[in-house]
A and B are shown apart, each in its own frame.
Chain A
């Protein structure tokens, strides 16, 4: 009997040991979460945050973060395929404002994941960036990098225009002769779209032989969705938008016509290089850094290289930023959210709450990212190296708008790119281009059930 008791006790001990020890080991092994990112400055910055988290917080939170890099070419198509396959291999989705509508059905809303306010909440981020990663009123991703536009201008030339009376007289003559408008020079910060066009003509050598630059501006007019985002600033700055109420397209309005006229006039008057119809971000930067262009509307990311004496010796030191004429800037954000098919959601949620802190975002900004967090961007130490950061915070906050985040955002951009680029290249009359774009967008939204 005694022997039986001993055997029973031993068996019980072994059983308990087998049950408890693996559970304890498991509780000490952090859950690994896999976060998709695209390679580039964004992933370099995120890597620093991930490394810090894994070294300092992993044990306490029981979470280890792994980054999975897909190549940038066709990145969102690849990611969409992984999501469409409902793969649990990916725990965190890398998304962008213009693609969020397609990803959101495969993601968890962050509404109940993050705190309601303060650190660990989305209140840490600037409102328009927050909106840019919300879908149907609910947040789906933590905004990691924000993109917006500025008017980049040559301060040496524009300052002279404000002080040299001969230049000022000539400016008014050019505006009257070429545009039939009585305009006088203003500070770039106060420009309207009309001032933008007039200044572009004044700084074009074929129109004003005294111009120090060959072209007033450089437009990015390739058939590309990102170029539409730049043009949108003029549309919104002139009081227009993509939609009237209830997703009724509003591309055939006087505001849209006027916004398109800004580009068309500049193209017709040859105030932008002839090759602009094939230009995008890189070509516009090249044109500006050669010193042959007086100003341009460009993405915020360009300042860092255009004001760098080694990369842009002909213009660095004379590059200043102002709001896009009309004082509206398109805002989109890249961010990370939770895959609906993740098997490690509690762990992912801890990581998300960490990302939604000023501490994490400061780290991200220090590592080269552009997080839409005022406290991170306006950090004086960082602003010494990246003087555009406080301006990004200010402009995104004051002038930022988000066109939409519905699933049809990219198709709408694609329709606009196709028709607007034809008008920009002077191949199609502006009104026809806008009517056709409006018609195609209406048809698309009807097919998708947004319109009756």
Chain B
């Protein structure tokens, strides 16, 4: 029995060490750095400054602006991606000619790295050489999609283009796994298409919808690459996300301690909705 337990520990050890090294240690180190006046130049001999970094971050208007933009961005893109992903999943959950090819094409944006997608959109939205801009101009659209007031919505659209296939994939798999009986029973009871969706399909898909929303929510809140490439958080700080705020604080203004304080605050702020979301998902999973 003891030997079995030891063997169990031995098997767990590599993964535990990896987790400690790559997650626990950096996490604790972030707390440590957040109390120091640390920069790349003073990395070896930083001063202990207590909670000063936290005070500085919490009194920075731009920090709240970044959180506000990240929250709005996350809510909008996740909602759109779930709705579009579900619509696509329903549309393709039937016998269609060329369905496999269509699904493969639909998944293509997922294969592109976010930074590369940012560069692609930077080209397609360029008003001199971009195809999208060309057709918009031909249609009489006077502005530029990367200029205010359109730019936040353009960034959201880029996210939706890239990540709707992800929600589609999860929900399509969910739809395929729904047994025929409940739907057939609803039809026999005289339910229409909308009623079947509302009262049969959606309740059955709920765990997957929540999982997709949760995963996309985390990812969307962290968005960095595409926005950094397209606007670098500007103009001003109009499109600065929490991740861009942390990056600029750490590497452009050089305040590693302050950037870590921002990360710790974000972690604390997000831990409440995150833990609730996880509990909710676990509860609704059969």
B129 near A286 (CB under 8 angstroms)?
yes
A425 near B254 (CB under 8 angstroms)?
no
A223 at interface by CB-CB < 8 Å: yes
B147 near A86 (CB under 8 angstroms)?
no
A427 near B148 (CB under 8 angstroms)?
yes
A27 at interface by CB-CB < 8 Å: no
**Stretch in contact with the other chain, from A47-55, A181-189, A415-423:** A415-423
A250 at interface by CB-CB < 8 Å: no
A427 to B44, CA, bound (A): 41
CB contacts under 8 Å to A, within B220-251, are 230-238, 248, 251
A17 at interface by CB-CB < 8 Å: no
Q: Nearest Cβ in chain B — how far from A13, in angstroms?
A: 50
- Interface size class, chain B: 20 to 34
A113 at interface by CB-CB < 8 Å: no
B41's partner among A102, A292, A425 (CB-CB below 8 A) is A102
A433 to B234, CA, bound (A): 14
Q: Is the interface of B mostly helix, strand, loop or mixed?
A: loop
A-side interface residues, number (CB < 8 Å): 44
Q: Nearest Cβ in chain A — how far from B152, in angstroms?
A: 12
Question: Assuming A275-B125, A275-B146, A425-B147, is B44 touching A222 (CB within 8 A)?
Answer: no
The residues of B that contact A421 with a CB separation of less than 8 Å are 234-236
A86 near B44 (CB under 8 angstroms)?
yes
A-contact 0/1 string along B29-64, CB 8 Å cutoff: 000000000001101100000000000000000100
Q: Nearest Cβ in chain B — how far from A442, in angstroms?
A: 15
**Stretch in contact with the other chain, from A142-150, A295-303, A360-368, A406-414:** A406-414
CB contacts under 8 Å to B, within A398-452, are 407, 410-411, 414-415, 417-419, 421-428, 433, 444
A-contact 0/1 string along B117-160, CB 8 Å cutoff: 00000100111110001000000001110111001000000000
A74 at interface by CB-CB < 8 Å: yes
A77 at interface by CB-CB < 8 Å: yes
Question: Assuming A77-B40, A81-B40, is B232 touching A283 (CB within 8 A)?
Answer: no
B126 near A223 (CB under 8 angstroms)?
no
A286 near B126 (CB under 8 angstroms)?
yes
A417 near B234 (CB under 8 angstroms)?
yes
A410 to B44, CA, bound (A): 21
A254 to B43, CA, bound (A): 40
A102 near B40 (CB under 8 angstroms)?
yes
The residues of B that contact A278 with a CB separation of less than 8 Å are 122, 144, 146-147, 151, 230-231, 234
A424 near B125 (CB under 8 angstroms)?
no
A274 at interface by CB-CB < 8 Å: yes
B146 near A84 (CB under 8 angstroms)?
no
Q: Nearest Cβ in chain A — how far from B226, in angstroms?
A: 13
A286 to B253, CA, bound (A): 31
The residues of B that contact A411 with a CB separation of less than 8 Å are 252-254
The residues of B that contact A428 with a CB separation of less than 8 Å are 236
B234 near A222 (CB under 8 angstroms)?
yes
Once A and B bind, how many residue pairs between them come within 8 Å at the CB atom?
A: 115
A287 near B236 (CB under 8 angstroms)?
no
B-contact 0/1 string along A75-101, CB 8 Å cutoff: 001001101101000000000000000
B234 near A286 (CB under 8 angstroms)?
no
Identity of the chain A residue whose Cβ is nearest the Cβ of B42 in the assembled complex: A84
Question: Assuming A275-B147, A410-B252, A411-B253, is B236 touching A286 (CB within 8 A)?
Answer: no
CB contacts under 8 Å to B, within A218-266, are 221-225
A287 to B62, CA, bound (A): 32
A83 to B40, CA, bound (A): 9
The residues of B that contact A223 with a CB separation of less than 8 Å are 231-237
A123 at interface by CB-CB < 8 Å: no
A277's partner among B62, B133, B235, B254 (CB-CB below 8 A) is B235
A290 near B128 (CB under 8 angstroms)?
yes
A212 at interface by CB-CB < 8 Å: no
Extra contacts, 19 of them, besides A275-B125, A287-B128 (Cβ < 8 A), are: A77-B251, A80-B41, A102-B41, A105-B41, A223-B234, A223-B236, A223-B237, A224-B232, A274-B127, A275-B133, A277-B151, A425-B148, A425-B234, A425-B235, A425-B236, A425-B238, A427-B148, A427-B236, A444-B253
Question: Which 8 pairs from chain A and chain B are nearest by CB?
Answer: A223-B234, A422-B236, A425-B235, A275-B144, A274-B144, A278-B146, A84-B43, A80-B40
Where the two chains meet, the residues of B that have a C-beta atom closer than 8 Å to any C-beta of A are 40-41, 43-44, 62, 122, 125-129, 133, 142-144, 146-148, 151, 230-238, 248, 251-254
Can you name 29 A-B pairs with beta carbons within 8 Å? Answer: A77-B251, A80-B41, A84-B40, A84-B41, A102-B40, A102-B254, A222-B234, A222-B235, A223-B234, A274-B127, A274-B142, A274-B147, A275-B125, A275-B133, A277-B144, A277-B148, A278-B231, A286-B126, A286-B128, A290-B129, A410-B254, A411-B253, A417-B234, A418-B233, A418-B234, A418-B237, A422-B235, A422-B236, A433-B236
